[in-house]
Amino acid sequence: MNLSTAPAEGPVAFGDDLRPQSLLGAYRRGLYPFPAGSIEQRFLNEMLYETEVEAGRIHVLSAGDEPYSVAWCCPDPRPLILVDQVRVQRSLRRQLRGATGWTSTVDVCFERVVTQCREGRSERWLTDELLAGLCRLHALGFAHSVEIWEGAELVGGTFGVRAGAVFSADSQFTLRSGAGKAAVTDLVRRFADAGGVAVDVQQDGEHVRLLGARPVARAQYLELLRAPHSGSGLPTGELPVSRLAD
């Protein structure tokens, strides 16, 4: 699939294959999944994008029973946090310094983090099928979570998939003010220590700009994914969140 001519916004492809090997292959090619949370949304996808599909501007990746059940996205530009250029905003640094007693871990409760990320969302793109695929990908060592703890209580977290030099962060949740931001900041720090180059936050917005995200042209992002890379695993172990303010 030639992404150089793909739409800059919205889906660039449709397909219903959420098996772990297919998920990993998609992330490595710059795609991330956005499943339809209802039958109505599937029909809407087909109705809205039928012309684009027929014209070849949007591809159908699989011929399953419900090809329009999963939209695959690759926006242009792509919001990235470059690990060697990240600057934590002053307000976030103050919040992190004040997070006394908060700690972070990696991969302690991946499924719990993913499940929490979809709680209370009216548009549940984290469907049961996607959750199952991500959990299998985690078991294979490609999907990871960062957890934020207040004592023994899980108060925030984020998760995503590593694709070489890039970590694609899918979602985050917050049960205490700032805990979700702390999770993403911790992920960036740990990924830098693992030899990573950038954390992809997928969708631009003021909240990710505050975390250091900057728009990068899709072509540059795809080059980064294709570049040879040999890094280590994410550092594990419980660490104080307050260190992130340094």
pLDDT in tens, the chain (246 residues): 788 788 999 999 999 999 999 999 999 999 999 999 888 999 999 999 999 999 888 999 875 678 899 999 999 999 999 998 877 778 788 888 877 889 999 999 999 999 999 987 766 789 999 999 999 999 999 999 999 999 999 999 999 999 999 999 999 999 998 899 999 999 999 999 999 999 999 988 877 887 888 999 999 999 999 988 877 889 999 999 998 887
Q: Which long-range contacts (CB under 8 A, 24 or more apart) does 191-195 make?
A: 191/83, 191/167, 191/234, 192/83, 192/84, 193/234, 193/235, 194/231, 194/232, 194/233, 194/234, 194/235, 195/165, 195/229, 195/230, 195/231, 195/232
CA dist list (Å): 19 to 25, 83, 115, 225, 237? 10, 30, 18, 21, 30
DSSP assigned state of 107: S
Contacts of 228 (CB under 8 A, 6+ apart): none
Q: What are phi and psi of 43, to 5 degrees?
A: -65, -40
User: Is the overall model pTM greater than 0.75, yes or no?
Assistant: yes
List of domains in the chain: 3-73 (no CATH), 78-245 (3.40.630.70)
